[in-house]
Amino acid sequence: MIIGLTGGIGSGKSAASRVFESLGIGCVDADVVARDVVARGTPALDAIAERFGDAIVTAEGQLNRALLRERIFTSPNDKAWLEALLHPLIREQMLTQLAQQPPPYSILVAPLLFENGLEALCDETVLIDVPESVQRQRVMQRDKTGEDQVQRIIDSQMSRADKQARATYCIENTGTREKLEAAVLALHRHFVAQSPQ
């Protein structure tokens, strides 16, 4: 069984996934997988360099993400090409890693689970949910960034109401960390009870 765990920036996905991990549940982070498939020396990075030129790779052999973002921002063709290259690789890698986790279920953590259609890989989805004011306050404190920058990221993500409508389960994370832990534990027990065997 694969559970998708999502929520906007600063909602508490990492905090929630740490609780699941403490219960012995394997969590695969979609953002980490997306970085790994274009890590130094990968065939995907070679293909990107061939299309965009060697300047897209830094002297250290890493992908120059800022430059790539700029290139695809101005070229829908390049963007489509890149997505056709990376999306199947990312999905395959996520499924491989999820299958390697111990039973009875594993978790795919993805901030853009719904935006990127990744819920199709999941049996159920869990939304970690907080109002925008809490997102802003927690992210500003965590990342030492300004309100405008946080708000821009919030605005680029799917609205809270749309995510609430899509998710199977919703954990409200406006309370204490202990409340979050209790909510995760309750859901964990539910998933264990629901799983076959």
Q: How far is residue 130's CA from residue 57's CA, in Å, rounded to a whole number? A: 38
Q: Give the binding range for ligand ADP (CB under 6 A) out of 20-28, 93-101, 159-167, 169-177.
A: 169-177
Q: How far is CA 156 from CA 151, 152, 153, in A?
A: 9, 6, 5
Contact yes or no for 185/193 (Cβ under 8 A): no
Q: Which of 13, 29, 6 has the alpha carbon at shortest distance from 139?
A: 13
Build a one-symbol-per-residue string for 124-143: x at contacts with ligand ADP by CB under 6 A, - elsewhere.
Answer: --------------x---x-
Residue 11 binds ligand ADP (CB under 6 A): yes
Q: How far is the CB of 50 from ligand ADP (least distance, A)?
A: 34
Question: CB atoms < 10 A from the CB of 59, how many?
Answer: 5
Q: How far is the CB of 32 from ligand ADP (least distance, A)?
A: 12
Residue 33 binds ligand ADP (CB under 6 A): no
Question: Under the rule (CB under 6 A), what is the footprint of ligand ADP?
Answer: 7, 9-15, 138, 142, 173, 175-177, 180
